Amino acid sequence: MGIVIRGGSVVNADHTTRADVYCEEDKITAVGLDLEVPAGTEEIDAGGCLVMPGGIDPHTHMELPFMGTRVIDDFYTGTVAGATGGTTMIIDFVIPPKGGSLLEAVDTWQERAAKAATDFGFHMAITGWDERVAREMDEVTRERGINSYKFFMAYKNAIMVSDEELVAGFSRCREVGAIAAVHAEHGELVYHLQEEMLQRGITGPEGHPQSRPAAVEAEATARAIALADVLQVPLYVVHIGAREAAEAVTRARLRGQRVFGETLAGFLAVDDSVYYDQDWDFAAGHVMSPCFKPKGHPEALWRALQAGNLLTVGTDHCTFTKEQKRMGLEDFTKIPNGCGGVEDRMSVVWELGVNSGRITANEFVAVTSANAARIFNVYPRKGVVRVGSDADLVVFDAQKSKTISARNHYQQNDFNVFEGLEVQGVAVHTISAGRHIWADGEVRAERGAGRFVPRAPYGPAYAGMDRRMVMNAPRRVERKG
Ligand code: URP
Ligand code: ZN
Ligand code: ZN
């Protein structure tokens, strides 16, 4: 049985139009006014609402084992939470242990993700470097549908990679047709500052931002950009929180480098004052890396989004309970790093972005869905309301309000970084691959109905000209005499 969404305004990244949308099985099969549909078709009334491509959260960590514990949201609860907020695809990070096999890690993640309620894709993390990793990157990219690799420039003594590994890994990305991604923080400097804080007796959550000044992010972002430029590999900088990091991306793009910047819904909404709250659980609940930055940074990120210099808004959804966070009661470096957001991302970006006049509804679609689909090579299957695209849709009521709270959110953690924020603009219906899984307050999602979305490697043109070929081209040297 198909579904028809009637009477809404269809908002894509490039235009808005009044139209009905008809879906058969998992695809959109008609978009137009007053569509005639077969008897028995489910009708969704979108009168007064917007019909947009389902959100794509390009940055999540479901059931990740991390810092001695495990993320509390699994692929089912996390994707259901996302769907209630209008998100129909996540791209999660496969993170093998240092020295581990990439292929085995993909299998592990596929097993975990088999319970997902919406579609999902994977990025692969490179946590160390050896011949097997280099070899497996080829199979991961060409046969396992993963075309993006994240390198952690922080988390010393855990998953951080060295400059030597970055260089080798970036080069290999180019060879296999993948995009490199970085967690850009100067891990050595963070470690040094953390030690200094602890020696000074600063053991609470306030030590977290004090050991991660903006320069930590700015330096690593600039370094990754320089390496990617020389090695001619496209680069995606994840979770940008610092103005200076966004500026580094902007400068690179002005120079013509293929660099994409992602920020997070949280970074657009919250500043580092949260770490100085007297309530330890509240302060620790915000501990994530990079950290929230001082006042002024969120506005700079908004401006970079407005200008098109940052292109995506993810969440870095990585949820822990208060109890889990208390692992770091005596030492802030032991607080599991991570916050939530997959459920609230769309409403928060709408409220602070569109309602404030910072971005248009079309730009909203770009930064919450279409740009991620383009950058990660799944457009137009995802990211657009168009005949032939996947029937991943959100009916969004821009008049409806709600107050975000951990008391009634679907995420499994007992904390919400957007607690108390009133948002006007709410997902009222979510369609995932042609299934109506969120119906005005009712969850109809099915465990395991989500599908893995393979992403093809990029062609050579995407990486750009191989500068080394030019540099090494034989040159005739005229000598006198
Ligand atoms: O604090 C964070 N961001 N935790 C998840 C791992 C990462 O760095 O993305
Ligand atoms: Zn990261
Ligand atoms: Zn992350």
Both tokens of residue 107? 């299998």
Higher per-residue pLDDT: 465 or 331 = 331
Contact present, 336 and 327 (Cβ < 8 Å): yes
Which residue is closest in CA terms to ligand 1's atom 7?
A: 289
Inform me whether the pLDDT recorded for 344 exceeds 90: yes
Contact present, 453 and 382 (Cβ < 8 Å): yes
Both tokens of residue 354? 């569109």
Q: Which residues contact 158 (CB under 8 A, 6 or more apart)?
A: 67, 98
Contact present, 319 and 339 (Cβ < 8 Å): yes
Which residue is closest in CA terms to ligand 1's atom 8?
A: 289
What per-residue confidence (pLDDT) applies to 481? Answer: 59
Give yes or no for residue 416 CB within 6 A of ligand 1: no
pLDDT tier for residue 462 given thresholds of 50, 70 and 90: confident
d(CA 327, CA 70): 12
What per-residue confidence (pLDDT) applies to 474? Answer: 53
Give yes or no for residue 289 CB within 6 A of ligand 1: yes
What per-residue confidence (pLDDT) applies to 475? Answer: 58
Contact present, 196 and 213 (Cβ < 8 Å): no
What per-residue confidence (pLDDT) applies to 467? Answer: 55
pLDDT tier for residue 430 given thresholds of 50, 70 and 90: very high
From 67, 264, 318, the mutation candidate for ligand 1 (largest count of ligand atoms within 8 A of CB) is: 318
- Closest ligand 1 atom to residue 154 Cα is 8
pLDDT digits over 12-56, tens only? 999 999 999 999 999 999 999 999 999 999 999 999 999 999 999
d(CA 171, CA 168): 5
d(CA 384, CA 365): 9
Give yes or no for residue 287 CB within 6 A of ligand 1: no
- Closest ligand 1 atom to residue 338 Cα is 1
163: buried, middle or exposed (CB in 10 Å: 19+, 13-18, 0-12)? exposed
From residue 26, give the alpha-carbon distance in Å to each of 54, 387, 388.
13, 11, 9
What does pTM read for this prediction?
0.96
Percent of the chain with pLDDT over 90: 95
Higher per-residue pLDDT: 91 or 477 = 91
pLDDT digits over 256-287, tens only? 999 999 999 999 999 999 999 999 999 999 99
For the segment 61-79, the average pLDDT, to the nearest whole number, is 98
Q: How many CB atoms lie within 10 A of CB 48?
A: 12
pLDDT tier for residue 477 given thresholds of 50, 70 and 90: low
Domain edges within the chain: 54-375
Phi, psi of 42 (to 5 degrees): -70, 130
pLDDT tier for residue 459 given thresholds of 50, 70 and 90: confident
Give yes or no for residue 338 CB within 6 A of ligand 1: yes
For the segment 210-216, the average pLDDT, to the nearest whole number, is 98
Distance 326 CA to ligand 1 centre (A): 17
pLDDT tier for residue 476 given thresholds of 50, 70 and 90: low
pLDDT digits over 214-243, tens only? 999 999 999 999 999 999 999 999 999 999
Distance 224 CA to ligand 1 centre (A): 18
Ligand nearest to the CA of 316: 3
Q: How many residues does this entry show for the chain? A: 481
What per-residue confidence (pLDDT) applies to 1? Answer: 84
Distance 61 CA to ligand 1 centre (A): 8
Which residue is closest in CA terms to ligand 1's atom 4?
A: 338
What is the chain's mean pLDDT, rounded? 96
Which residue is closest in CA terms to ligand 1's atom 2?
A: 338
From 72, 263, 316, the mutation candidate for ligand 1 (largest count of ligand atoms within 8 A of CB) is: 316
Tell the CATH topology of 54-375: TIM Barrel (3.20.20)
For the segment 385-397, the average pLDDT, to the nearest whole number, is 98
What per-residue confidence (pLDDT) applies to 62? Answer: 98
Alpha helices in 24-101 (DSSP H): 75-84
> Treating both helix axes as pointing N-terminal to C-terminal, what angle do 214-231 and 163-176 enclose, rounded to 10 degrees?
50
For the segment 95-110, the average pLDDT, to the nearest whole number, is 97
